[in-house]
Amino acid sequence: MTTPRVDAGRVDLVRSGMAEGEVLLVSDLSNVRWLSGFTGSSALLVVTPSTSVLVTDGRYGAQARRQADAAGVELEVRVGATQAEMLEHVADAASAATSIVFEAEHATVAQHRRWAAALPRPLVAASGRVEAGRRRKDEREIDAIARAASIADAALAEVAPLLAEPGPHLTEARVRDLLEIRMRELGASGPSYETIVASGPVHAALPHHRPTSRPVERGDLVIIDVGALVDGYHSDMTRTYVAGRATDEQERVYAAVLEAQMAGLAAVGPGATARSIDSVCREVLDGHGLGEWFTHGTGHGVGLLIHEEPYLNRVSEAVLAEGDVVTVEPGAYSEGFGGVRVEDLVVVTSDGCRVLTASPKDSPCPPSPPTT
């Protein structure tokens, strides 16, 4: 893993949202990473009008300094051996403030109580102070996500052909292992999330099935949901195949889901509401009598987290903007039939979107092996 550069504009953006006298206490680790380059599991970042102070525990002091240097971030690192010592450092860093703004979507109720007892200034709840900036990906971030997407494409291009004639050893878990091993070899630091391989009339009907020792059988629908992790950034993609030859019903449902997905992609662009993308997909599936089979939302943002703002669903208030990286992934599921999902990852551009995932999707036939 390398530590990508962290643009100083990020913390400037956060500071520009701070009122007079405020400091911001960042406790969400993805937000900490986005502002500081730090990847450890213990950190409180205090952003003041003029400084950034990262408080961590004894495991991570040297690492935090090294990563801040590599990221090109001006950061003071302080180490506390206990939670109480860490909070003393936070109190000290916030001593010139009149109030401490904390992240209400991330701090737990118990954390808030401990902070209220240990910190000398009033705590003020806020949401999205860092996420508002984090949502719009810069060129380096889009590049990392695109590299992750390409790695998943390449791994799937090698593994999916095995589904054309599945043998008795081609279990769901084996397909997952082959994908994950190949992604590592291609330079990913790991899978982006627990790879989903869901086969047959029961497993493929579960949108978030975990791979089992079930062998893929001829005639199965096989949903493969796979992404790679590069420099902390995730990719996300789903393809559905039929092992062997598709039945008419499998072809029909596949075509309907693909039509919905293409309609969703066509609707993505700056100014489009997240809800409208969801509606477009849902209407296509409704038109094919499959509305009841589409049991989840249409998509979500992707970045340092695999699921982040903006969410594309019935109740989202988000409006898409240039630099958003989101999935478009309608699906149709029914126990006894199985399921179909087609998912691409896109970045919103000035006039529409660019699709970052490139695996073929025009039919549920497993592809031929790569010729190179």
- In the chain, the amino acid numbered 36 is S
Of 199, 188, 177, nearest to 153 by C-alpha is 188
240 touching a copy of itself, by CB under 8 A: no
Residue 248 CB: number of other CB atoms within 10 A?
7
Whether omega for the bond prior to residue 310 falls within 30 degrees of 0, making it cis, is yes
96 touching a copy of itself, by CB under 8 A: no
Between 113 and 245, name the residue whose CB sits nearer to a copy of itself.
113
∠ CA 265-267-269, rounded to 5°: 95
40 touching a copy of itself, by CB under 8 A: yes
Rounded-to-integer distance, Cα 157 and Cα 112, Å: 48
Stretch that binds a copy of itself, among 35-43, 86-94, 143-151, 250-258 (CB under 8 A): 35-43
Chain CA centroid to CA 281, Å: 21
The two structure tokens encoding residue 195: 């790879």
88 touching a copy of itself, by CB under 8 A: no
Among positions 16, 19, 20, 110, the unique one binding a copy of itself when judged by CB under 8 A: 110
193 in Cβ contact with 227 (< 8 Å): yes
The two structure tokens encoding residue 322: 């240039």
The two structure tokens encoding residue 44: 């409180």
Minimal distance, residue 6 CB to a copy of itself, in Å: 17
Minimal distance, residue 327 CB to a copy of itself, in Å: 14
Among positions 8, 84, 96, 132, the unique one binding a copy of itself when judged by CB under 8 A: 84
Between 19 and 110, name the residue whose CB sits nearer to a copy of itself.
110
Minimal distance, residue 112 CB to a copy of itself, in Å: 5
Stretch that binds a copy of itself, among 201-209, 242-250, 267-275, 349-357 (CB under 8 A): 201-209
Minimal distance, residue 354 CB to a copy of itself, in Å: 27
Using CB under 8 A as the binding rule, the residues of this chain from 333 to 352 that contact a copy of itself are 335
**What mask of x and - would describe binding to a copy of itself in positions 159 to 178, judged by CB under 8 A?**
--------------x---x-
Between 107 and 242, name the residue whose CB sits nearer to a copy of itself.
107
Helix (H) or strand (E) holding 152: helix 139-159
12: left (phi over 0), alpha (psi -120 to 50) or beta: alpha
Measured in residues, the chain has a length of 372
Rounded-to-integer distance, Cα 274 and Cα 268, Å: 8
106 touching a copy of itself, by CB under 8 A: yes
The two structure tokens encoding residue 20: 């007079």
214 in Cβ contact with 179 (< 8 Å): no
The two structure tokens encoding residue 9: 């504009």
Between 173 and 355, name the residue whose CB sits nearer to a copy of itself.
173
Chain CA centroid to CA 206, Å: 20
The two structure tokens encoding residue 126: 């806020």
Among positions 15, 30, 61, 252, the unique one binding a copy of itself when judged by CB under 8 A: 61
Radius of gyration of the chain, Cα coordinates, nearest whole angstrom: 23
**DSSP state letter for 155:** H
48 touching a copy of itself, by CB under 8 A: no
- In the chain, the amino acid numbered 286 is D
**DSSP state letter for 268:** -
Between 48 and 189, name the residue whose CB sits nearer to a copy of itself.
189
158 touching a copy of itself, by CB under 8 A: no
**What mask of x and - would describe binding to a copy of itself in positions 259 to 288, judged by CB under 8 A?**
------------------------------
The two structure tokens encoding residue 104: 């209400």
Between 245 and 314, name the residue whose CB sits nearer to a copy of itself.
314
Among positions 16, 19, 20, 81, the unique one binding a copy of itself when judged by CB under 8 A: 81
102 touching a copy of itself, by CB under 8 A: yes
Name the residues that contact a copy of itself, by CB under 8 A.
Answer: 1, 39-41, 57-63, 66, 81-84, 102, 104-110, 112-113, 125, 127, 173, 177, 181, 184-185, 189-190, 194, 205-210, 212, 295-296, 313-315, 335
